[in-house]
Amino acid sequence: MVNRGAKTAPVTPRYFSRDESWLDFNRRVLEEARDPANPLLERVKFLAITASNLDEFFEIRVAGVLQRIEDGYNAAGPDLKTPQETLDSLSERSHRFVKAQYECWNQELLPALHDAGIRVLGWKDLSEEQREFAVGFYRQDVDPLLTPITIDPAHPFPRVLNKALCLALLLSRKRRSVARPILGVVTVPRALPRLIALPPANGTRDYIFLHELIESQTAALFRGYEFVSRAAFRVTRNSNLYLQEEEARSLLESVRSELHNRRKGDAVRLEIESDAAPQIVDELRANFELDEQQIFPTDGPVNLSRLMNLYTQTDRPDLKYPAFTPHALRLHRDSTSLFDEIDRHDILLHHPYDSYSTVVDFIRAAAEDPAVLSIKQTLYRTSANSPIFQALREAAQTKEVTVVVELMARFDEASNIRWARDLEDAGVQVFYGVVGLKTHCKLALLARRSPRDGIVRQYAHLGTGNYNADTALFYTDLSLLTRDASITAAVHTVFNYLTAHSQSDDSSPLLVAPLNLAERFAQMIHREAMHASAGRPARIIAKMNSLLDPGIIDALYAASQAGVSIDLIVRGICALRPGLKGLSENIRVRSIIGRFLEHSRIFYFQNGGEEEIYLGSADWMPRNLFERCEVVFPVLNPALRLRIRDEILAAYLADAAASRFLGPSGEYRRAERPAKGSRRDLFSAQDFLIRVAEGAATSADIPPEFSLPAAAWKDAPQPAAARQNGRQKKATSKTAKRSDRLSGDRLPASAVAASLTVTSDG
């Protein structure tokens, strides 16, 4: 007999919501802004980053949900939520997040900045000298760029560009006391800094927001009007590109056209000062056709991302992270060039701890060396004045140079179009990859005729990050420089795929998306499960930006059930639920947010004792596995594998200062602070790796009491035997702490003693 009154137990989804997980990531960044252990101006930077992140979230993710609702989709996703349920959840979470952002700014950062002698002032707070300076700056630099507009039948509402900061003003005619107030709009010029530095007062560093300066002078812009109210506002628009890809040349024109349309896409969010008059809010809401949940009142300056100017404009090294100089590669005494060094051995670089200049030198050397016959390279994002870009242009004068440019690298499309055209003008053969796929792999391939024996050999650079010397200063990434014939031949095959869509049945030893990457990862995860079932060593450690693919997650669940010990280091989105009994109890997930943005992808498989380590450009997301051209490559050199395992991965697993651990219900928890002291006393992977780069630490210095991945969530106490083992390691580390170098490649102490292993208990 059926009990029709019985309540059905809620179903626990196998996967976390992608978008809610992303918001959780941004909240972890906000925690860094609120953490007094971080230098003050770095906290300001973290807050600015959260605002910039949220902009992109609304432009792409929220816009996409709204589009699905408008198109009539109502099917639930992997998280068992419909698009409307997703939108409602994201709206509620986003409003709470924005409130927390402004609490951080108003209650924590502003007072701390004031105490440090850095003041962000309103117009009424300026001294006479400062006002005189500000008015002079306004008249000379600001006023010529302003176009005041009043909204009436002859002046329709202006086309407000995406994320442009504007001022809305309620105005009434001085000679028409009965008339209803009308709306005036002024766009704040993007060409000017959002924070204006003022003459110091009593040794302080003072600033005023540009929009407040403009507000103070609006009487001159709207003569004949009285001001009823005013408020700054900003509109975020749908910035997805909707392209019909055809041939390569039309793709370039299509992207260029869509970039123009992006500036005028449908509005998805309105930010407006919280004290704005209701009439201003109502008129803006009606004009942009927004629902109530799309209005975000701000208790402070609209567009917190511009606080990055405060960080860059304020020269206070005492309020920033200590300066750090990356380790520079040193050639062997018998090497006369970087090519000689690569002839000797593979080179592994861990950026930013190892200088990115070696990668730049690799391309420059190729451009300048007459023995180099051809250069092939992918470009996804690069810096504004990229030395690599310049080297490729120069090389085209004397060599065969082929570049695959990804036009649709999000928000870098315009600059990539310019680079593509400049490269073509210089004689470079430019291609745009495979239709329907983004080219996200990071590859460079050189063909060089050896001056010694006349044989043409290939040299390759494979990386986890972009060819961007600027971001390489604060993104953690890995680079491999190699002459290994199997790898260079496979890279050559990948370039044939990108330029001619020539598919090879065998790209080994590389894993290539969309050809075989998802399949091979699934096979390697299943292989670990088979090892565990047979009682052989089985361990997976995977570091990435995001984990979202259901197929990979299900394979990890199955491996966990088979007894495989799995540690996942996932900076951002993680849809996998760890720690669920009978499903994922052998899986631990941590996110590390710190000084550097963790961008490297590392995949370790214990493989029954025959360890394999892969690096690459791909996260475990459907778009990386199936919708992009990605390359994941093996580390074949045993010494380099040891460095990755015992120095890099071990440090991340030991980190207690910047790690948050993901629980089965979706919450992230930090490691408990020590009973005495502060979070600064906890082991930090990034600080440790800086010391390694400076020659002041080795893998033997990783404290074993924090290397507890199996007990990380419960913060279990360290067994006494392990503590004793830790003391022995520290005792021996004094002799091991020497800067062993293999022509610039650091070897961990274990490369000599082979004594420290990354096992299931850390």
Q: Which residues are catalytic?
A: 440
Bridge partners, residue 231, by sequence = 168
Q: Where are the alpha helices (DSSP H) in 104-188?
A: 110-115, 128-137
- Judged by DSSP in three states, 235 sits in strand
Dist CA 378 CA 705 (whole Å): 43
Q: Are 463 and 479 in contact (CB under 8 A)?
A: yes
CA distance linking residue 165 with residue 755, whole number of Å: 58
Give the other-Cβ count within 10 Å of 58's Cβ. Answer: 23
The torsion region of residue 477 among left (phi > 0), alpha (psi -120 to 50) and beta comes to beta
Q: Report the Cα 565 to chain-centroid distance in Å.
A: 28
Read off the DSSP letter of residue 238. -
Residue 146 DSSP class: -
Q: Which residues lie below 8 Å from residue 336, measured CB to CB, with a gap of 6+?
A: none
Q: Output the six-digit token pair for 472.
A: 């390489």
DSSP state letters, 271-337 = EEETT--HHHHHHHHHHHT--GGGEEEESS-S-GGGGHHHHHH---GGGSPPP--PBPP---TT-SS
Residue whose C-alpha is closest to residue 362's, from 388, 386, 383, 385? 388
- Quote the radius of gyration of the chain (alpha carbons, Å): 28
Cα 522 off chain centre by? 26
Q: What is the distance, to the nearest Å, from the Cα of residue 688 to the centroid of all Cα atoms in its chain?
A: 21
- H or E segment to which residue 400 belongs: strand 400-405
Residue type, 499: T
The two tokens of residue 588 are 């631990």
Beta bridge partners of 604: 541, 613
236 and 269 in contact (C-beta within 8 Å)?
A: yes
Burial of 33 (0-12, 13-18, 19+ CB in 10 A): buried
Q: Which of 551, 586, 374, 564 is CA-nearest to residue 460?
A: 374
Alpha helices per DSSP H over 299-443: 308-313, 338-344, 357-368, 387-395, 413-425
Instruction: State the Cα–Cα distance between residues 84 and 68, nearest whole angstrom.
Output: 9
